[in-house]
Chain A
């Protein structure tokens, strides 16, 4: 019995010693979320890094999107976050990044290859709290098969000279009518959730009024009447075969795996240009998904293109305390963003970097046509439209609290009810107006 007790104590002590083992300063931990394509590419890049820099080891911590934020929140609370971790840009604010994330300029990372304003949204009190990996915007992608006659293969709509891709909302509704009147179970777009409808409605309203959703005083920039106009626009889309008449008719929450999407009943999607591969991967290989940009309207003040930093690399504040670790982390981040071989491996799976060096490398990759990928084409459209808006003095950069976990329900919940046909446009607009400003103020105060 005494032997057993001794063994028990020995094992407990060993476990405690293992748990308390001092972390090797030449080992870098790197956490990210992603699908299998991204995971494979990232591990390949890590392997390459370790072969090029044998003095360093990298511990990869992969995760799916679901659960990543929860896990990161927990780790930050406990101080066990990875040295380098992928973040959404708004987390810099909602996670009190200033307390947990290191100022990356202290690492000596060169930001001169990035556009001048790229890191402004990631900067709090003059501290750049994460390195932008890519920027993204919501744009439309259309599945050509749905726009074609099933028997003849001819396009169901022709806007002139064989053009079937709508460029305006009006043309989109014409296409919807043509598709839905031929095949009653097919729609030009199909089912969109509250998040997608929100940005589509705010893009439409931005085109008319030239305003961002949230103004510089952190208040809702649209009046009740303007919101009602936005909701009426959604009604028009639903009655013209663009969107399904009610979301009660399709309750499948996950867009990419929605059977109506995979079986090509739905003709399009409004998605971040950095995430379109999720939708592309679930379509049959015969499907032709094309980038349609943002639909426009006559007399618009702007193109209605919202954008934001898609994702960024943050560095744990723990790293600040060790020069060796700082050097290791700097080497790793620079390798992941600018090393020609690493960039070629990682491709555009995390979006198209705005870093000029990175873009030049991607353009020269011979075995993959990154320039003609949906992500790249989307990136070009987003940047072009956004820059044109800026020249007109209209800034539609997405507010850092727009996608805040609890705040977003203030506009998404009424939109969801509207899409389920349980409330009308007036009621939905009233609900948004009533709580938007007070709730935004509350979440911004923390």
Chain B
């Protein structure tokens, strides 16, 4: 009986291991191999790093598009991630207070995350931000001139950033849990020392939840680098390629254009970028993350 029990966990792990090998590890390795080849019809030729050179060659359309999509993606990530963290932390802070009807507000704020960035929501989002959309109808009623959100680079970027920031529910819940775990005694001590609520927030709350800020930051960073749905369905990468994020470009090149080799090369560049930023954040964490132990 004891001997039988020993291999039971391994049997239970088999489906996951098969899934990991087939759907994660194999595509991961084969995509790198693929990025080293050039395919014309049924003929594949080993070309080494040519595809990587091509996507960084700004004299070609492909190269300039890739660099543009990198810029767009960086802008998106470095605006979206801090905004999500700030908004979700502030809302979590308010919801952590003992106020009446807080349960209702917690549910309400989490709703956008439940709805997610699905097609219906994105279509709704389009109708809100279009030239004749809800916001501009409101502006017209108030006597203001309409704004072309989706017709300008800044407006379109704002729209897709807001769509992501709007779904701050998960990040907020994690912050909420962290805030509740900050020992009350620290606040009591700070109050006795005469610290204001504002000072307590920055000198007690923030340092105490830095491990959670690190976790949320890394998770959101990885996730936003891979954004796809919003830019495809709201702006289709436009106007003037201003929201043509890297994942959309990869999709267009690899699947619409059928060039999987160049597409996988781009994917690997994206992977390396995400990896570098993740390592950088973890390395920097020793200077700003405080663990209670």
Contact = CB atoms under 8 A, between A and B. Distances in A.
Interface of A: 1, 5, 69-70, 73-74, 76-77, 94-96, 98-100, 246-253, 259-260, 405-407, 409-410, 413, 416-417, 420, 422, 435, 438-439, 442, 446
Contacts of B60: 438-439, 442
A407 B41 CA distance: 19
B41 A248 contact: no
Contact of A248 (B42, B131, B260): B131
Chain B facing A: main interface SS: loop
Nearest to A244: B131
Contacts of B65: 406, 409
Nearest to B38: A446
Chain A facing B: main interface SS: helix
Contacts of B151: 246-249, 251, 420
B40 A446 contact: yes
Interface string B3-31: 01000100100000000000000000000
Contact of B240 (A5, A416, A438, A442): A416
Contacts of A260: 132
Interface in B226-247: 236, 238-241
16 contacts: A70-B251, A94-B257, A95-B258, A96-B40, A99-B41, A99-B42, A249-B148, A250-B132, A252-B130, A253-B236, A253-B238, A260-B132, A406-B257, A407-B61, A417-B240, A438-B60
A19 B4 CA distance: 33
Interface of B: 4, 8, 11, 40-43, 60-62, 65, 129-132, 148-152, 236, 238-241, 251-253, 255-258, 260
A100 B41 contact: yes
Contacts, number: 87
B256 A70 contact: yes
Given A73-B256, A413-B241, A251 B61 contact: no
Interface hub of B60, B61, B62, B256 (most chain A Cβ within 10 A)? B61
A420 B239 contact: yes
Nearest to A67: B255
B237 to A, nearest CB: 10
A223 to B, nearest CB: 21
Contact of A422 (B42, B130, B240): B240
Contacts of A70: 251, 255-256
Contacts of B257: 73, 94, 405-406
B150 A413 contact: no
B69 to A, nearest CB: 13
Contacts of A1: 4, 8, 11
Contacts of B4: 1
Contacts of A96: 40-42
Contacts of A73: 255-258
A251 B131 CA distance: 6
B11 A251 contact: no
Given A77-B258, A413-B241, 10 more contacts: A96-B41, A99-B42, A100-B42, A246-B151, A248-B131, A406-B65, A406-B252, A409-B65, A416-B238, A416-B239
B61 A439 contact: yes
A94 B258 contact: yes
Nearest to A77: B260
Contacts of A407: 61
A259 B132 contact: yes
A76 B258 CA distance: 9
B130 A413 contact: no
A405 B252 contact: yes
Contacts of A94: 257-258
A5 B10 CA distance: 12
Nearest to A96: B41
Nearest to B239: A420
Contacts of B148: 248-249, 251
Contact of A406 (B43, B129, B149, B253): B253
Contacts of A420: 151-152, 239-240
A396 B92 CA distance: 64
Nearest to A265: B132
Contacts of B40: 96, 446
Nearest to B39: A77
A311 B239 CA distance: 29
Contacts of A435: 61
A19 B241 CA distance: 42
Contacts of A251: 129-131, 148-151, 239
A98 B260 CA distance: 19
B41 A69 contact: no
A383 B33 CA distance: 49
A263 B236 CA distance: 24
A420 B239 CA distance: 8
Nearest to A69: B256
A384 to B, nearest CB: 35
Contacts of B41: 96, 98-100
B258 to A, nearest CB: 4
B61 A5 contact: no
A417 B256 CA distance: 23
B238 to A, nearest CB: 7
A248 to B, nearest CB: 3
Nearest to A416: B240
Contacts of A246: 151
Contacts of B238: 253, 416
A420 B155 CA distance: 13
A435 B132 CA distance: 35
Contacts of A410: 61
A251 B61 CA distance: 25
A220 to B, nearest CB: 14
Contacts of B61: 406-407, 409-410, 435, 439, 442
B62 A406 contact: yes
A308 B226 CA distance: 38
A69 B255 CA distance: 8
